[in-house]
Each structure stands twice: as structure tokens, then as C-alpha cells.
A and B are shown apart, each in its own frame.
Chain A
Amino acid sequence: MLGLGAERLRADMNRLLALLFHQGVLDEQFLQLQQLQDATSPNFVSEVVNIYFNESEKLLRNLRGLLLDREFSDYKKMGIHLNQFMGSSSSIGAKRVRNVCVAFRAASEQNNRPGCLRGLELLEHEYCYLKNKLHELFHLEQQRLLAAGVRYPMQN
């Protein structure tokens, strides 16, 4: 009985991943990340993704702060934050988030305030979606391992 539950959960995970690939939310780099997870680093993916979440939320706060100043928006600093966001998104395979950063950066290079505001809105939306889906994925993985009867350290 345990085994059947695990198999169904694995199918659910694969379905979710396939959807995220199809939507362009994730790309092949995410698979590279999964391939790096092994016996010596059993929590590699969630460790890296949690770092990504922490860093991204900091970057989003910074970007929001920079845009709140109506008098003077430090577009150069925005660009620096966006470069970092682009790099980390690319490293974990977060394709759609990365692409939104590219458009946002273009607006910041033109000192285009409405463009930047729009960019931030899109970025927050995409990031939220990605975070929710990845949490869903990790949750399914935890369930699957429990169902398969494996001892596994719980992640927050």
C-alpha cells in the first residue's frame, strides 16, 4: 500500500514538472540541479532553491524601495540588482523570472519609470508563481518519500 502511494505521488511530481516546463517557468537548468542531488547532497535542490528564495525576496524589496522614491530613482542600482536576479534565476532554471528581469532591466537602462513599475509588477507576479509551484513540488517530494517509507529530514 505504501508503495502505491509513492508511485502516484511521483507521477504527480512529474506532471507538475512537465507543466512548468511547458509553461516556460522552468528550463533545462533545473534538471541539471536535480541531477546534482545525490547521496552526498540529498537536499541539494531545496538548499539551493531556498537560498534563491531568500536572495530574491531581498532583491525585490530593494527594487521596490528604489522605485518608491518618486524624486530620484537610482536606475543604475536597479540594474545591478536586476543583473544579480537574472544570474541567480538563470542558475536555477527559472526561465520566466529571468526573462522578466531582462525586460525590466531594459526599462531601467532607459530611465523609464512606468516601464520599471510595470516590470516590477510582472517580476513579483512571476516570482510568486514560481515560488508557489516549487513549494508544491517539494511538498509532493516529501510526501512521496514518506509514502516510500524513507527517513528524510523535513525541510521548512
Chain B
Amino acid sequence: MDVAGGSGSLLKGMVDHGEVPHVLAVDDSLIDRKLVEKLLKNSSCKVTTAENGLRALEYLGLGDDQNRSNGNGSKINLIITDYCMPGMTGYELLKKIKESSIMSEVPVVVMSSENIPTRINKCLEEGAQMFMLKPLKQSDVKKLRCQMMKCGR
């Protein structure tokens, strides 16, 4: 399973030892939502799932008709999103998150079942922390989880 990453770790996910990271997982496939949720829960994460980009943005408080105080964005330590989704793609969601004032520091991981270098580079350039190939394995998620912990402070 290939994992392409940006520089450094996910320290900006700012999870202290003993704290349970809260992950927002976005995927239009119900099967994949169930899988990623189980994988994350097995790695002691709290998980919220969303079935598309719009719902994800609404949850985070970045929806069009929202003001910042409506959202759950401040609770989220990591966003993991599928690339290929109808309507708003994972790339477009990534952009909106990175352009926002409140969520731009939260790491975003993009997943795809297709290994397309231009797609991967596009996402990394837009600020994705990591690109992961589906289907995800438990070992991938464990690695992700480790990177989310603060270390060496």
C-alpha cells in the first residue's frame, strides 16, 4: 500500500498523549465509510463520517450559510477524504479547507483507489498532508495514528 506524504509528520494534528483524536472521514461509498470508521476506531480514534464534501463542510462550520460558531471544526484533529466523489471532489474539499481561516491548519489526508501521480501531486501541492491508496489497511491507519501524536516535547 503506497503512501505519499508531505514533509514532516502530522504534528499539527496537535494530539496530546492520552487524548483521543477526533477524525472526520469523508467518502461517498457506504462500504468505505464503514471500513475507514472501523479502522480508525481500532486505532482508538473518535470518528465522524460524512457522505460528501458539502456535509463535511457543514459539519466543520464552513458551510455557505454558516457563521464560524456553528461548526465542530475546532474538535477535529484530522480530516480524511476520498478523492473521487460526485459533486465536490476530495480535491475541492481540500481546497476549501485550506482556504478557510479556521480549518486551514488541520491536516487533510486524501485517499484514492487509483494511483495517478498527477492527482497525487495536485493534492500535495494544495496542502494535503498525505495521499493514501485504497483500500486502506490497519497498518496504514496505525502509522497515521502514530504521526498524529505529539512526540519528543
Contacts and interface: CB of A to CB of B under 8 A. Distances in A.
Nearest to A38: B42
B39 A87 contact: no
B68 interface: no
B35 interface: yes
Contacts, number: 47
A55 interface: yes
Interface in A68-120: 80, 83-84, 86-88, 90-92
Nearest to A32: B137
Given A48-B34, A48-B35, A88 B137 contact: no
B69 to A, nearest CB: 34
Contacts of A40: 41
Contact of B39 (A36, A47, A48): A36
B32 interface: yes
B29 interface: yes
Contact of B134 (A33, A38, A52, A91): A91
Interface in A24-39: 29, 32-33, 35-36, 38
- Majority SS of interface residues in chain A? helix
B113 A86 contact: yes
Contacts of B42: 36, 38
Contacts of B32: 87-88, 91
A44 interface: yes
A33 B19 CA distance: 27
B135 A91 contact: yes
A51 B31 contact: yes
Given A41-B38, A87-B113, A55 B138 contact: no
Contacts of A84: 29
Contacts of A92: 31
6 contacts: A32-B137, A35-B138, A36-B35, A86-B113, A90-B113, A91-B135
Interface of B: 29-32, 34-35, 38-39, 41-42, 84, 86, 113, 134-135, 137-138
Interface of A: 29, 32-33, 35-36, 38, 40-41, 44, 47-48, 51-52, 55, 80, 83-84, 86-88, 90-92
